[in-house]
Structure 1
Amino acid sequence: MKNYIVSAFRLTMVMLVITGIYLAIVYAGSKVLPTQGNAETIHYKGQKFYTNIGQEFKSLKYFHGRPSAVDYNAAGSAGSNKGPSNEEYLQTVQKRIDTLRMQNPGMESVKIPVELVTASGSGLDPDLSEEGALYQVKRIAKERNISEKSIEDLVKSHMEAPFLTLFGPSKVNVLQLNIALDQLK
């Protein structure tokens, strides 16, 4: 019995040292990043926004990001855990499609980008694909009385290339895009 307790204690100490070293490496690595391990924030109109957390924009004058399964609550990040065979999930997606078609007249013949009607795994995705942003240009141009070309150029100027130009799609941060949209003359 004594051998088991001593072995368990030694293993616990070894694991504490290994995890402690791992945590120290991760912490030190985060401090060399431009944000020094802190969240990227933007101060706009007296408010602080986190650029790496999805925000909800309800006004038709703004780009809308991905739907959130957790109502954009960063404390409760999660997906819905409902799959494409779940009837309730299919009804939710259909409601989102209907709402999107209603909010974006003239886009009936255009294929809806999937991220505009399905929530991300975390429920807090701050980015959209180029297609997701461009799908909304016509509505925003009409609401703001700005040319579609100006808004398309704004979207393209805010596109971020894939990591190392290889991994993942091009994307645009919805919060940063909407702030730039407010500043567009």
Structure 2
Amino acid sequence: MNAQPTLHVIDDRASLRAPLLFAVVSLLGFGFAYSLVGTAIGRAAFPSQATGSIVERDGRAVGSALVAQPFVDARYFQPRPSAAKYDPMAASGSNQARSNPDLRKRLAEETATIAAREGVLAEKVPAELATQSGGGLDPHISPASAEVQAMRVAQARGLSLSAMDALIAQHTEGPQFGLLGEPRVNVLQLNLALDAAQAAR
């Protein structure tokens, strides 16, 4: 007699158990636990940076050390212009090529405006003060850009130019790790130092 073939019945529930278990473990492990542990380590090791590098004065948040913000009062140093209008949710550059006539026109107008505001010749205006950074939120300017604004701020506050120069030098940060980037000045920190210096008087 010929042997009858054996039929193997597949249990659908058993075949789904392994992939479902893997999906749950992956979701909880990598989607939840990993993020939670990473956030906890970040907060423990870098508490300021993990919360946005928020700067507080008298218990009130006044800005972030990592995000530029506009200052309209003549008593304050100004940051670089922003294509994103200083909105962290819309960080972007102008995306205009150097050959774009609209860009050249805007730079000429911006440079003329800054020169008039600071009382200097247009050729004395550092290019970065008229150009937008790649993300539109750069919180730093160069020491040269701060020095161009020093006379205006000193006159508006009734302080000496030497006092301005001293504050700029005090708040000039060197290249990161001594190698990366150029010397720079954090505009928010400098303006807060100005307020503190004037209050101390």
TM over 0.5: same fold? yes
**Mean Cα displacement is larger for which, 30-39 or 133-142?**
30-39
1:38 match: 51
Q: Does 1:65 align with 2:79?
A: yes
Judged with a 3 Å threshold, the aligned counterparts in structure 2 of structure 1 residues 45 and 58 are, in CA distance, closer, same or farther, namely farther
Distance, in Å, in 1 between the alignment partners of 2:194 and 2:82 is 22
- Higher alpha-carbon Rg: 2
Query: TM-score w.r.t. structure 1 length?
Result: 0.81
1:75 paired residue among 89, 108, 111: 89
Q: Does 1:95 align with 2:116?
A: no
Q: Does 1:50 align with 2:70?
A: no
Given that 2:80 and 2:131 are in contact with CA atoms closer than 8 Å, whether structure 1 keeps it comes out as yes
**Mean Cα displacement is larger for which, 23-32 or 113-122?**
23-32
Unpaired segments ≥5 residues, structure 1: 1-8
1:161 paired residue among 146, 150, 174: 174
Distance, in Å, in 1 between the alignment partners of 2:93 and 2:40 is 31
CA offsets 1:99-118 (integer angstroms, 9 cap, x no match): 1011011x217632221000
For these two proteins, the number of residue pairs brought into alignment is 174
RMSD: 2.8
Q: Does 1:183 align with 2:196?
A: yes
Residue 167 of structure 1 deviates from its aligned partner by: 0.8
CA offsets 1:157-180 (integer angstroms, 9 cap, x no match): 111121111111111110111111
Residue 41 of structure 1 deviates from its aligned partner by: 1.2
1:112 match: 125
Given that 1:30 and 1:37 are in contact with CA atoms closer than 8 Å, whether structure 2 keeps it comes out as yes
1:6 match: none
Amino acid aligned to 2:115: R
More helix by share: 2
Distance, in Å, in 2 between the alignment partners of 1:165 and 1:36 is 20
Judged with a 3 Å threshold, the aligned counterparts in structure 2 of structure 1 residues 78 and 61 are, in CA distance, closer, same or farther, namely same
Amino acid aligned to 2:146: A
Judged with a 3 Å threshold, the aligned counterparts in structure 2 of structure 1 residues 43 and 36 are, in CA distance, closer, same or farther, namely closer
Given that 1:60 and 1:103 are in contact with CA atoms closer than 8 Å, whether structure 2 keeps it comes out as no
Amino acid aligned to 2:67: I
Secondary structure at 2:55 match in 1? strand
Amino acid aligned to 1:152: D
